[in-house]
Structure 1
């Protein structure tokens, strides 16, 4: 059963609160034909500009013209004809792309995957084989270089989506992202102040509240080569830890891609230096560059466990020992998986990991249930998640996802015969989750989601009882980022939305109203 409250008339929407500035999206591709799938993903309201390195074929240009016409029909703006650079070499191309970004001033950049996942491996030559031409990865790397330079120059955070090769645009934008958009980017410190961690073209940017409640400006966190994605996990003491991927050039013309980690132990203090965890295939950079995005969780004793999809399309794990050291990566052999991994802390206090199957609909779960704590695989889970939607649930050991066939938001935990549907939360992308929200002596779990029409949703249900029904509230007009929620030590529930440029919007629970009604969107004070 599901209950939903409609947005009250006259409340402020994210787009209005941000000043009504158009949301400009730059699409950077090798040729016009390569932009078609990226344009098709863009929802209504964006102003789209396509930048191509080459003119391409007449057929490709025609396909893009049709895609842009369809975008205009659904409510997008089109900023002129595709811009064709015809650059001569890499340095010229990056400089030309930077000039285009200066002219456009984009809020978001769509490009391809700089490190595509291989489809086969030639053992004779020792070379991975791909189903996309090398120029796709080269263009994506050049676009990222230009985007980092523009963000450093302008001081404006720039969101970046890298389109995963072989993904299905019909399943939505979240299913196509090489670096996932986080649903856990808002965190509350021990002092009750909030911190927002945001992935951008230039890596991690954060904003935090000072003692008066005002927010700092977007503050870049030092770290060259960070890719535009992040995952935030809280340790048992409540401190946020941020995980990502770092890409650096090698002297031999290759690139190294490694898992990195930092932590924040004081709201207004510096984060710890980035700590490299390497990767499971770093002995060969050609294999190591295709590593999946990390998932992480802490066990009840405070031990940190990090998981990635490795070159062989299975899962590798690295855990921190009690003395603080990091033993080598461990390979969990079994079912081949896609890029979607989620790690959770189970009721028994240990950590388990879920993944979407690569070669068939479905999901798998690994847990330390074998002799001596050996990892055991359960490949017979009763659900198939949509790519890009697996996420930790509020309850220990449970996961959230959208059903592959119906797109319905669901929760599942071990022991359930079938997933629990979460009601009126059909939409796109992963759900965010928060537990331990107190109200009138009861404890609730809170969910955040993006609805079918792009509006923000917040849901609540008695903790541990999603089957009792989720009460959903619509928080207003569409935004370009998934919302996130946090609760302070004093019990204040806040939902945050990131909109164009530097803006951050907040909605807080209205304590004057019974239930979980949230007030109007307010721009974060700076």
Structure 2
């Protein structure tokens, strides 16, 4: 980066760190009060809004696999609800899994052990919300849409924090084939799954659910709480090598599939807000590098220790116990306290620029593909509009095609009428004309040809367009190898799926083309990064070849740079962003020494917009930083879902975007010297809603309308 460009960018970032109307650089809920819009404000800076609802299989899945996203959401003051599908009764012994301890632990009592886990969860949530694990809860029984009952707990001091206990029977085995389980219910091997009521629960009458009643009960919870962000586990974690056991607990996997079915049903209701879905990796984190910095990991571990009742003090007065003593023997899990990782929606290529200078941004909302557009740096954003068709998974990849149209690629889940019909596929839609509407979804199928109902653990797609206009789609298959499917002619049919090799691939592959026309594809493994690079334009790929790059957290980003492409990735255990420039030539690409990029701390993928990084800062908020060396993130006050995207526009502006927990698109724009990024010549704004409730003197006040004349949601 030139000195002049670096100086302009540094000045812009400094201005953005101050923000509008006295906004600080720290997230609301992390030591500051929510800012009030000043009368002269042009835009309202983004803050965390909406509501978040987690659905997990067992008590502690949220603490192990969704924190710190969970605790940070609670701290903002938005509505946070967690739903537990099963009681997690296990073997009914509130002690470690050790044969010589079972006699000392007394007889098995599944109702009591499930109650102890409830007590531990209530303590952890009370601590996250109030700092006091003994803060009081109001507990009540409520009827469900499935014909049974659920326990609902409301934290008295912070009533925006709710827990919903569905109290179904768990599988009582990680992978054992037990028909009396969520798996057996999904597969039709048991007609109904019974309840496992906890001791002390206000739910008094035993019940059971059919498959449809289970879906109805979960969808009914969605209708009650009307979330804008739904968090759940991974419905397709895959199997061990050779088609062995599932890589995750069967309750995690099949519980997430019930959530998918409930989401599909809920999406068909009216009078609800838009919502996004975020999926989380669970047990497979054990074999992957840590993603959290030591301070964040220690905070997460503290909540787990509260849940695990590690001090064994009788603070709750329950005969069942005040927490989960099984977890107390290893509150870190299998390294889970040091990690959070998304199984979908971690790609950063979901925004692109058309030939006319129009920007297009895509995100899955309500199980459909939504898109926003902006005709130029001086114009207002419009949207969201929706492509027809449902079942669209989180994540998208957008590209400009050879003729100037825009194409969007995603994965789609088909639930099917029978369990054997469950599966995922790659789909794409293309504009009918430049800047026009989109045609129907077309399917590229899946590179997985066996056990699609049991695994379907494909990644999101990465897409390239060659100089001749042919599209190639790259995806990681369920065997953790790289696969590709390419058009035979521009706009024509796609050939068969090709096997490009590799082993143990993690996350989504990324691709970019250098100035010489050579295509690069990179994919992370647990220990490094593998590369596939054309030695010359249109030449067959070499690779996979080892890059010699250090271990990453798995989420990669890439941009063209001169005669090479530059990779960006997070360092394990500290979260800082590092970078290396790859140049093609010879049998393998050559990499520059790894250097620190902007952005210290945080986790997840980073979006690249020219010389601007956008990513999750240490406090969990979305922030921006320059790419040319270690520096702090310039933070917003907004938590978000998925990964940010970025575009360096032909006009010289750089735009970064993120999907907030409110299911709205939020953006930030940098401008060249002397430029104006916003209508009317206004200076660059901090992070704000793309479709902003504009006013001249009444920002944020009742009666405000959006650019399209509609009241803000």
Same fold (TM over 0.5): yes
1:83 partnered with 2:165: yes
* 1:56 corresponds to: 88
Contact 1:409 1:422 in 2 (8 A): yes
Q: Secondary structure at the match of 1:518?
A: coil
1:115 partnered with 2:236: yes
Give the TM-score, by structure 2 length. 0.63
* 2:279 corresponds to: 162
Match of 2:129 among 42, 53, 72: 72
1:171 partnered with 2:288: no
1:41 partnered with 2:68: yes
Separation in 1, partners of 2:131, 2:604: 20
Contact 2:233 2:280 in 1 (8 A): yes
Deviates more, 1:60-69 or 1:366-375: 366-375
* 1:97 corresponds to: 218
Q: Secondary structure at the match of 1:322?
A: coil
1:400 partnered with 2:568: yes
Separation in 2, partners of 1:377, 1:330: 14
Contact 2:48 2:639 in 1 (8 A): no
* 1:442 corresponds to: none
Match of 1:316 among 469, 483, 489: 483
Separation in 1, partners of 2:339, 2:559: 18
Contact 2:474 2:484 in 1 (8 A): yes
* 2:504 corresponds to: 336
User: Judging changes above 3 Å, is the alpha-carbon distance between structure 1 residues 78 and 320 closer, same or farther for their aligned structure 2 residues?
Assistant: same
The alpha-carbon deviation at position 373 of structure 1 amounts to 2.3
User: Judging changes above 3 Å, is the alpha-carbon distance between structure 1 residues 299 and 372 closer, same or farther for their aligned structure 2 residues?
Assistant: closer
Match of 1:452 among 610, 618, 635: 618
User: Judging changes above 3 Å, is the alpha-carbon distance between structure 1 residues 341 and 54 closer, same or farther for their aligned structure 2 residues?
Assistant: same
* 2:452 corresponds to: 285
Structure-to-structure mapping, 1:340-489, within 5 angstroms: 340-358=508-526, 361-369=527-535, 373-387=540-554, 389-395=555-561, 396-414=564-582, 415-435=590-610, 445-460=611-626, 466=628, 469=629, 474=634, 476-481=636-641, 482-489=643-650
Separation in 1, partners of 2:379, 2:131: 40
Contact 1:197 1:205 in 2 (8 A): yes
Separation in 1, partners of 2:361, 2:131: 32
- The count of corresponding residues between Structure 1 and Structure 2 is 503
Contact 1:344 1:353 in 2 (8 A): yes
Separation in 1, partners of 2:634, 2:452: 46
Match of 1:141 among 233, 245, 257: 257
Runs of 4+ in 1 over 6 A off after TM superposition: 18-21, 74-77, 470-473, 511-517
Separation in 1, partners of 2:657, 2:547: 37
Separation in 2, partners of 1:400, 1:21: 27
* 1:439 corresponds to: none
Separation in 2, partners of 1:70, 1:381: 43
Separation in 1, partners of 2:434, 2:380: 13
Contact 1:48 1:77 in 2 (8 A): no
Q: Deviations over 1:36-70 (max 9, x none)?
A: 32452322325321112233332532443343234
* 1:438 corresponds to: none
Separation in 1, partners of 2:565, 2:426: 24
The alpha-carbon deviation at position 252 of structure 1 amounts to 4.8
* 2:51 corresponds to: 24
Rg larger in structure:
2
Contact 1:427 1:453 in 2 (8 A): yes
User: Judging changes above 3 Å, is the alpha-carbon distance between structure 1 residues 319 and 511 closer, same or farther for their aligned structure 2 residues?
Assistant: closer
Q: Secondary structure at the match of 2:419?
A: coil
Contact 1:175 1:386 in 2 (8 A): no
Segments of 5+ residues of structure 2 without an aligned counterpart are 28-33, 36-43, 90-113, 133-157, 169-207, 293-337, 583-589, 678-682, 692-706, 709-713
The alpha-carbon deviation at position 250 of structure 1 amounts to 4.2
Separation in 2, partners of 1:162, 1:401: 21
Contact 1:457 1:472 in 2 (8 A): no
Q: Secondary structure at the match of 2:475?
A: strand
* 1:441 corresponds to: none
Q: Deviations over 1:297-318 (max 9, x none)?
A: 2233333221222232211111
The alpha-carbon deviation at position 137 of structure 1 amounts to 2.3
User: Judging changes above 3 Å, is the alpha-carbon distance between structure 1 residues 55 and 74 closer, same or farther for their aligned structure 2 residues?
Assistant: same
The alpha-carbon deviation at position 454 of structure 1 amounts to 3.1
Contact 2:50 2:79 in 1 (8 A): yes
Q: Secondary structure at the match of 2:572?
A: coil
User: Judging changes above 3 Å, is the alpha-carbon distance between structure 1 residues 150 and 368 closer, same or farther for their aligned structure 2 residues?
Assistant: same
* 1:8 corresponds to: 18
Q: Secondary structure at the match of 1:93?
A: helix
Separation in 2, partners of 1:473, 1:165: 28
Q: Secondary structure at the match of 1:285?
A: coil
Q: Name the structure with the higher strand share.
A: 1
The alpha-carbon deviation at position 286 of structure 1 amounts to 4.3
RMSD, aligned α-carbons: 3.6
Separation in 2, partners of 1:373, 1:184: 24
Separation in 1, partners of 2:375, 2:517: 34
Separation in 2, partners of 1:141, 1:245: 15
Q: Deviations over 1:78-104 (max 9, x none)?
A: 623333264512211121112211221
User: Judging changes above 3 Å, is the alpha-carbon distance between structure 1 residues 312 and 187 closer, same or farther for their aligned structure 2 residues?
Assistant: closer
Q: Secondary structure at the match of 2:460?
A: coil
Q: Secondary structure at the match of 1:176?
A: coil
Deviates more, 1:34-43 or 1:105-114: 34-43
* 2:200 corresponds to: none
* 2:297 corresponds to: none
Deviates more, 1:35-44 or 1:156-165: 35-44
